[in-house]
Structure 1
Amino acid sequence: MSRISVRGFAVASATAVTAVGSVVGVASGSTAQNNDAEATAADTTLLADIPAGEQAQVQTASLTQQADAQAIAADASAKKDAEAAARKAAAETAIAKKVAAEKAAEAAAKERAKAKAEAATRSTRDTSSFPVQSSYSVSQIQAMARQMVGGGQFQCFSNIVDHESSWNYRAVNASSGAYGLFQALPGSKMASVGADWQTNPATQIKWGLNYMNSRYGSPCQAWSFWQANHWY
């Protein structure tokens, strides 16, 4: 067994030794210094020097100290493990959020594509459903557009036509030759939806709506671009 230095539990024994030393000191004429020396010796008493009856108490105290030290170490280890677990959980949460955001973006893209397809379907309405006339008033042309363009997009659509041609389906740009409600350049582009593109505003509306949906996604997005650049 190791020779463990004990301070606290040796005091009781040291007291007895000191008492005996005092008597001896008086009998022999020794000074108080002997008592101090004996007390100092008692303070450094080793486990082997402690009576057998008290050694169990000393050992218990030592084990208690060791247990306390181990508990402190265990607490530190547990804290470290908890911090590591928290970091791992935070990382997993961040990954989950990223995946969720990607899925949400994918779903939004699908919704936009669906809306675009629906808008394109609306714009392919048969223009023959509108009676062919020799001429059309602005109110008649706008009524056609309202039936062909979704309600939430009509104002943006109208804003572009206002700026491009003031709803004149026969408008011609003298310098470039751009033609019609949307000032298509060249105007013959509109033949892709109808041979009567020069005289039928319904055909022009169909072409213009297709153009805005395919190039910008919607009339309102086309109008946002127009506002920033003054062309579309």
Structure 2
Amino acid sequence: MSVSFIRRFAAPKKALAVAAVAAATTGMVLSSAPAQAATTSDSSARTVAKQMIPDAAQYDAFSKIVERESGWNVTATNSSSGAYGLVQALPAHKMSSAGSDWKTNASTQIKWGLDYMNSRYGSPTAAWSFWQANGWY
């Protein structure tokens, strides 16, 4: 085995070991909790949305918008505009009208997003049609 071959594989392992030691020294945990334990995970936000939007076509349209806007990340923030959350509300604090926990609660953000889509476009499917035509809603 050549020395360069060994170096190519030893260096990444060493870097990983150094990172693990540094993380342990500073008190960071490298393991994560199960996805179902997180209240703001992608899967739990989708589950909440399905419960709140029983019509399959409306849910599908809502889901397509959220997937493109935030990737189902409850704390997604657009660094240039400040848009925030699942539905990328702008300004973000507008979602407080749906609840004081708007920064972290998927249900609150979904409720606000549905209200927004229904009042501005008539429905999530109409909002999705607009999104497709314009790349935003």
Relative to the length of structure 1, the TM-score reads 0.42
For 1:164, the equivalent position in structure 2 comes to: 69
2:78 counterpart residue number:
173
Q: How far off its partner does 1:225 sit?
A: 0.3
Alignment of 1:1-232 (within 5 A): 135-149=39-53, 150-232=55-137
Tell me the CA shift for residue 199 of structure 1.
Answer: 1.0
CA distance in 1, matches of 2:105, 2:40: 9
Aligned-partner residue type, residue 215 of structure 1: R
The structure with the larger Rg is 1
2-structure distance, mates of 1:227, 1:193: 26
Q: How far apart are the structure 2 equivalents of 1:156 and 1:165?
A: 14
- SS of match in other structure, 1:225: helix
Flag the structure with higher helix content: 1
Cα distance in 2 for residues equivalent to 1:152 and 1:180:
22
SS in 2 for 1:182: coil
- Structure 1 stretches (4+) deviating beyond 3 angstroms? none
Deviations 1:81-128 (CA, angstroms, capped at 9, x unpaired): xxxxxxxxxxxxxxxxxxxxxxxxxxxxxxxxxxxxxxxxxxxxxxxx
SS in 2 for 1:177: coil
CA distance in 2: counterparts of 1:148 and 1:217, whole angstroms: 17
- Name the counterpart of 2:30: none
Letter paired with 1:193: A
- Letter paired with 2:43: S
**TM-score w.r.t. structure 2 length?**
0.70
Aligned partner of 2:9 in structure 1 is none
Gaps of 5+ in 2: 1-36
Aligned equivalents of 1:172 and 1:152: distance in 2? 27
Q: Cα distance, 1:136 vs. partner?
A: 2.2
Q: CA deviation at 1:151?
A: 2.3
SS of residue paired to 1:196: coil
